[in-house]
Amino acid sequence: MKIKNTIALAIGVVLVSVSTQAQTTTFKKGEFKQWAQTPPMGWNSWDCYGSTVEEHEVKANADYMVKNLKKFGWEYVVVDIRWFVENDKAGGYNQKDPRYVMDQYGRYLPALNRFPSAKDGQGFKPLADYIHKKGLKFGIHIMRGIPKKAVEDKLPIKGANGITADQIYTTALQCEWLRDNYTIVADKPGAQEYYDSLFELYAQWGVDFIKIDDLSRPYHEGEINLIRNAIDKCGRKIVLSTSPGETPIEAAAHVTNHANMWRMVDDVWDTWPHITHLMSVAQKWYPYIAPGAWPDCDMIPLGRISLRGERGEDRMSRLTKDEQYTLITFFNIFKSPLFFGGDLPSNDAFTLSLLTNKEVVKMHKESTDVQQLFQKDGKIAVISKNLKDGSVYLALFNISDTATENISVNLSDLGISGSVQVSNLWTGEKSNIASAAISATLKPHSSVLYQLKSKK
């Protein structure tokens, strides 16, 4: 017997109220950039649990973050894709007869068999409260557009004066890899009201961060405008992440004015070609690194991933230790948002050390003026500066597959002269040099990260 789609009608259910101030607050244009002055840092459930994460697993990762990572700046806990489907399975999406949960206005609700605290119409509010009480922030993932089921059932759009879901959609540009939703026609009456109703609900739940998928490639400018408007009107400071890449560089001006972070590439997994592709694409995004609006390298595929994930078997990251240092060094000096993708409670000591190096965290938060000096013949040099103490950070990468390389940078190219104190941020080793250049001999796929201070 075929199981019908489940729709949880919220008629008669008392939703958690929002304060009058939150209901009436409208943020000024561009104010959202103040909400992420440093690159956001947190955990996302995708790499380890795919579309199947459950409430107890989210809480376990939050508990670990509080104990081990919070003091280093890690604060967001994000529930990724399809939290509103009751019957998804590990290893891919259950595209046959998915059992959706949504309210009478076509808004997805958490599946109770996975998130039991969402009972009685509470949505994610109890889980968000659990996370907030620990001093952390709560985030969710959604797909752009409006649910197909809402269109089929002609569900009303809240606040749209009788307009129904079937009046604001198109099948054009429907997501190719997940077909839960249809595209919203941005200039249709009711389109803005639908997104407004979503973010009204998310503000009630206490959402601090939202990752919206199938938004950047192709680039859906119309829906991004609707989303920005809805967030600015919802009364809650919700950081916006667009996904996946490659976000077109031609959209740089628009995305920097509408999102806090945007993906540069598709998913980054634990293989070396994913890292080198990311480094290559990132070359065009250096000029757009700025407080409140960050080019995004994607999640960090380290630690234990794919417990019930979308790509491969349950495993510790397949990257070698040299490759893991290279990945985390690049993410940090590039000032990408940092969202760990592994199951945090499964971390070993080495993985934890990559996330809790005080000097690397300081560089990630405080450095400015990130530049790529060169990328040639398998060699890369990237620098950033620390205006507070005059430091220059220098990362050298050997991305060749076979050759050990000596990579050298003239100190004059770094704006440094005279004797220099050199600190290796990963090993803690310090030395002084008086030569005109700094160099390192690096094995294939390896890297080094220095802090340089002039000795006057």
Look at residue 21 and tell me whether its pLDDT is greater than 70.
Answer: no
Distance CA 5, CA 15 (A): 23
Superfamily of domain 20-366: Aldolase class I (3.20.20.70)
Fold of 372-454: Immunoglobulin-like (2.60.40)
Rounded Cα distance between 211 and 139, Å, is: 8
Q: Is the distance from CB of 384 to CB of 451 less than 8 angstroms? A: no
Cβ atoms of 396 and 407 within 8 Å: the answer is yes
Average pLDDT over residues 40-62: 97
pLDDT tens digits, one per residue of 210-269: 999 999 999 999 999 999 999 999 999 999 999 998 999 999 999 999 999 999 999 999
Of 350, 372, 361, which Cα lies nearest the Cα of 451?
A: 361
- The whole-angstrom separation of Cα 63 and Cα 292 is 27
Burial tier of 217 (Cβ tally within 10 Å: 0-12, 13-18, 19+) = middle
CATH 3.20.20.70 residue window(s) in the chain: 20-366
Spatial contact of 158 and 193, defined as CB atoms under 8 Å apart:
yes
Give the model confidence (pLDDT) of 319-332 as tens digits: 999 999 999 999 99
Whole-number mean pLDDT of the chain?
Answer: 93
Compute the average pLDDT of residues 70-84. Answer: 98
Q: Which ranges in 172-287 belong to alpha helices (H)? A: 191-205, 221-233, 252-256, 272-282
Q: Under DSSP, is residue 273 helix (H, G, I), strand (E, B) or coil?
A: helix
Is 7 a residue whose pLDDT tops 50?
A: no
pLDDT digits (tens, 9 = 90+) for 424-440: 999 999 999 878 899 99
Whether residue 442 is predicted with pLDDT greater than 50 in this model: the reply is yes
- Give me the pLDDT at residue 419, please: 87
CA gap 278, 443 in Å, rounded: 20
Residues 93-103 pLDDT 10s: 766 789 999 99
Tell whether the torsion through CA atoms of 416, 420, 424 and 425 is positive or negative: negative
Supply the pLDDT for residue 389: 85
pLDDT tens track for 121-162: 999 999 999 999 999 999 999 999 999 999 999 999 999 999
β strands within 86-206, DSSP E: 137-143, 146-147, 169-170, 181-184
Task: Quickly state the pLDDT bin for 9 (edges 50, 70, 90).
Answer: very low
Residues 6+ apart with CB under 8 A from 302: 270, 317, 319, 324, 327, 328, 340, 341, 342, 351, 354
- Number of Cβ within 10 Å of residue 316's Cβ equals 17
CATH 2.60.40.1180 domain position(s) in the chain: 372-454
Residue positions counted in the chain:
456
Question: Structure tokens of 113?
Answer: 């068999």
What are all long-range contacts of 415-422, with beta carbons under 8 Å and residues at least 24 apart? 416/392, 416/452, 416/454, 417/454, 418/454, 418/455, 418/456, 419/454, 419/455, 420/452, 420/453, 420/454, 420/455, 421/452, 421/453, 421/454, 421/455, 422/450, 422/451, 422/452
Q: Work out the burial of residue 400: count CB atoms within 10 Å of its CB; fewer than 13 is exposed, 13-18 middle, 19 or more buried.
A: middle
pLDDT tens readout for residues 330-364: 999 999 999 999 999 999 999 999 999 999 999 99
| Burial class of residue 286, CB neighbours in 10 A (0-12, 13-18, 19+) | middle
CB within 8 Å of 15: residues ≥ 6 apart: 121, 122, 123, 201, 204
pLDDT, one tens digit per residue, over 152-206 is: 999 999 999 999 999 999 999 999 999 999 999 999 999 999 999 999 999 999 9
Give tens-digit pLDDT for 359-383. 999 999 999 999 999 999 899 999 9
Task: Give all strands of the β-sheet with 430-433 in edge-to-edge order.
Answer: 368-376, 379-386, 391-398, 447-454, 420-424, 430-433
